[in-house]
Amino acid sequence: MKFFHVLWVLCALSLHGYAIDREAFTVTNYDLDIRVEPEQQRLAARGKIILRNRSKSPQKNLSLQISSSLDWRSIQVDGKAVQFVSQLYTSDIDHTGALSEAIVTIPGEIPPQATVELEIGYEGVITLDAARLTRIGVPAEVARHSDWDQISKSGTAVRGVGYVAWYPIATEAANLSEGNSVFETVARWKAREAEAQLKVKFKHFGEGTPAILACNGEPGGLRSSQGTETSYEGVTECAFQPLGDAVPLFTIGKYEAIDRPAIDISYSPDHKPAAERYAIAAQLALPFVTEWFGTPKGRSEVKAEVIELSDPEAAPYESGSMLLTPLNVDSKMAQLSVVHELTHAAFYSPQPWIYEGLAHFAQAVFREREGGRDAALDFMDVHRRAVAEAEKVVSTAARQGNDAPDSLIATSVEEFYRSKAMYVWWMLRDMIGDSKLKQSLEAYRAEDDRKPAYMQHLLESQTQRDLQWFFDDWVYRDRGLPDFRIVSAHPRKMMGNSYIVTVTLENRGDAGAEVPVTLKMVDGQVIKRLEVRGKSEATIRIETTSTPLELVVNDGSVPESDRNNNVYEIELPEKSN
Ligand SMILES: [Zn+2]
C-alpha cells in the first residue's frame, strides 16, 4: 500500500514537472554534422540548432525528440551543459513507435518570439523497425516493406519526419489507430517548419568499393566518395533553404547511374537491365509529358531522379521529383512511375492537390493513350475506392463546418490531394477539353499561385465558363462524393426506328458533377453529358437511331460513393398504331 502511494506521488511529480507545450517552439535553423556507418547501422550527430518561441507565453522548458533508437549525448547553451531529462515518448510519428525525448530546462526564460541556440549531440542505430505498424495489427511481412527505413550495409535509405526522426523534431504524440492523427501531426510540423533552414554535412564510411550518398536537398544528386582498396570515406553536403514541404531523406548505396537529359537513374550494378527499362520508359513518355506539362527541367529547373531501393518489395516513396523504388517492376509499371516523376519535374505547384493531382492525372491520361479510355478508367478505379473509404472517415460534422479541413486546398490526407485531385483534373478535362486545359496549365505560374481561386480563374479565363460551383463542391470544400441514380426514362417513338428518350437523373450526394449518360441501342450507343448538382435532379432528352435498350449513368470518370444503382433497363411503350 505504501509502495503504491509513493509511486503515485512520483507520477504526479513527474507529470507536473513535464507539463510542457511541445509545439511552442519552431526550429528555425539546423546545422548538423552527421556520421553514418552502414556496417554498424550507426548514426552520430553533432551540431547547432536555433529554436524560436512561437507561443504567446515565456517558456522555461522545451522538448526535443529523436527516434527512440537514438540517444541524447549532450545539450549545451553558450558552451555550458544544460539540464535535461531524457524519456521515452510514445508516438507513431517515428517507425519505432516512440521517440527519445529530451525535456530541456533553459537557464532563464525564453520570451515569446525570442530564440535560443543549442549545441546538441545524439547517436545510436537506425535498424529496420516496423513496430508502429505491427502493433496495430499489420502483418510483419507487409509492415517491413512499408517502413523500410534503415542504415545497413546492404542499402541505406532513411526518410525524415513521419518515418524516422533522424534530426530533432517536437510534436505532440501521434497515434496510427486514431484516424489521420499521424498525417495531421506531420502536416502541422511541416507547416511550422516550412521556413526553416536545414544544412547537413554527411560523412559516411565503409569497407570495399566506395558507396555514394544521395539526398533530396541542394545541391541534390549523388556525391562520390574517396576510397582506398579496403575502405572508403565520403562527404556530402545537403541543404534545404528553406525546407518547404520536403521530408529530408538520404540514401547510401554502391550505385551505378544512367544520366539522361530529363531523368537520372541510380541502381545497384546487378540490376542494370531493370534500370535500362526505366530509362527507355522515360524516353518513350517524355514527348507525352512535354506536350501536356512542358519540358521536364523546364519550368521547375529540376530533373526526375530514380534511386533504387534494395528491398525488392519495398513500397515506392517519392519526394518532389525524386523516386525511391525497387526497380524490379514490369515495363508498364515503370512507365507509369516515370510519367509521374517527369510530370513533377516539368510542372511545379506549391499546392499539393495541383502538384500531386496532376502527376496522377498524367498517369491516367497516359494509360488512356496506351490502352483507351476504359484502361484509364480501370486505372483510376483503384483510386476511387481509396477516396470513397477516406470520405467515410471524414465526419459529416467536419464536412459541414466552415473551415473545411479536408477540402482539397487544406487537406493533409493523401487519398484526397492525390486520388481525389486526380479525378478533379480528369473531370475538368472532360468538361473543358484537352486544349483548353493544356492552355490553362501553360499559363500557370507557381509564384503567382497565392490565393485558392487562382487555378479556377485561370481555367475560367481560358474557357469563359463559370466553374465556381464545381470548385465549391470539389476543391474549396469537402462535400463528399456524388451518388447518381436514373429516376426515369420515357421513350417516345419517332420516325422509323428512332426514339426520343427523356431521362431524369438524381444525384443523392452533396457534390455536383457533369456526368456522362450512355444510352445503349440495338445498334450502337449514344453518350451525352449532363450537369447534376448536389441533392438535385436534372433531365435530358436523347435521340436514338435505333431501338433503345439500356441507360448507364457515369462511365467511371466521376468518383461516386455507390456505383450499384447506375444501370436502367428501358421499357418500351406498347406498340402504338
Ligand atoms: Zn508525386
Give tens-digit pLDDT for 26-64.
999 999 999 999 999 999 999 999 999 999 999 999 999
Statement: the pTM of the whole predicted model exceeds 0.85: yes
- CA–centroid distance, 359 to ligand 1, in Å, is 6
CB distance 48 to 119 below 8 Å: yes
- CA–centroid distance, 357 to ligand 1, in Å, is 8
pLDDT of 328 above 90: no
- CA–centroid distance, 186 to ligand 1, in Å, is 17
- CA–centroid distance, 209 to ligand 1, in Å, is 33
* 416 bridge partner residues: none
- CA–centroid distance, 286 to ligand 1, in Å, is 16
* 35 bridge partner residues: 44, 203
- CA–centroid distance, 42 to ligand 1, in Å, is 30
- CA–centroid distance, 38 to ligand 1, in Å, is 29
What's the CA gap between 23 and 53, in Å, rounded?
9
pLDDT one-digit tens code per residue, 335-383: 999 999 999 999 999 899 999 999 999 999 999 999 999 999 999 999 9
pLDDT one-digit tens code per residue, 230-288: 888 999 999 999 998 889 999 999 999 999 888 899 999 999 999 999 999 999 999 99
- CA–centroid distance, 322 to ligand 1, in Å, is 9
pLDDT at 230 (0 to 100): 80
pLDDT at 503 (0 to 100): 96
- CA–centroid distance, 344 to ligand 1, in Å, is 7
- CA–centroid distance, 340 to ligand 1, in Å, is 6
pLDDT of 391 above 90: no
For range 151-156, the mean pLDDT: 94
Per-residue confidence at 229, pLDDT binned at 50, 70, 90?
A: low
For range 392-400, the mean pLDDT: 64
Per-residue confidence at 396, pLDDT binned at 50, 70, 90?
A: low
- CA–centroid distance, 352 to ligand 1, in Å, is 9
- CA–centroid distance, 342 to ligand 1, in Å, is 10
Average pLDDT score over the chain: 90
Q: Which residues, 6+ apart, have CB-to-CB distance to 40 below 8 Å?
A: 125
Q: How far does Cα 310 stand from its chain's mean position?
A: 22
What's the CA gap between 527 and 538, in Å, rounded?
16
- CA–centroid distance, 349 to ligand 1, in Å, is 11
448 against 403, higher pLDDT: 448
- CA–centroid distance, 208 to ligand 1, in Å, is 35
- CA–centroid distance, 188 to ligand 1, in Å, is 20
Cell numbers placing 280: 527507355
- CA–centroid distance, 159 to ligand 1, in Å, is 16
Give the three-class secondary structure for 371.
helix
- CA–centroid distance, 494 to ligand 1, in Å, is 52
- CA–centroid distance, 345 to ligand 1, in Å, is 10
pLDDT of 121 above 80: yes
Per-residue confidence at 16, pLDDT binned at 50, 70, 90?
A: very low
- CA–centroid distance, 568 to ligand 1, in Å, is 39
β-strand 226-227 against 231-240: which pairing, if any? antiparallel
Nearest alpha carbon to residue 99 among 85, 89, 113: 89
What's the CA gap between 375 and 365, in Å, rounded?
10
- CA–centroid distance, 307 to ligand 1, in Å, is 15
The percent of residues above 90 in pLDDT, for the chain, comes to 77
What's the CA gap between 222 and 206, in Å, rounded?
17
- CA–centroid distance, 504 to ligand 1, in Å, is 39
Burial letters 43-61, b for 16+ CB under 10 A, else e: bbbbbebbbbbeeeeebeb
- CA–centroid distance, 356 to ligand 1, in Å, is 5
pLDDT at 4 (0 to 100): 41
- CA–centroid distance, 109 to ligand 1, in Å, is 43
Cell numbers placing 524: 450502337
- CA–centroid distance, 131 to ligand 1, in Å, is 27
- CA–centroid distance, 301 to ligand 1, in Å, is 16
- CA–centroid distance, 239 to ligand 1, in Å, is 21
Q: Which residues, 6+ apart, have CB-to-CB distance to 401 below 8 Å?
A: none
CB distance 544 to 550 below 8 Å: no
Instruction: Give the CA radius of gyration of the chain.
Output: 28
CB distance 542 to 490 below 8 Å: no
Give the three-class secondary structure for 259.
strand
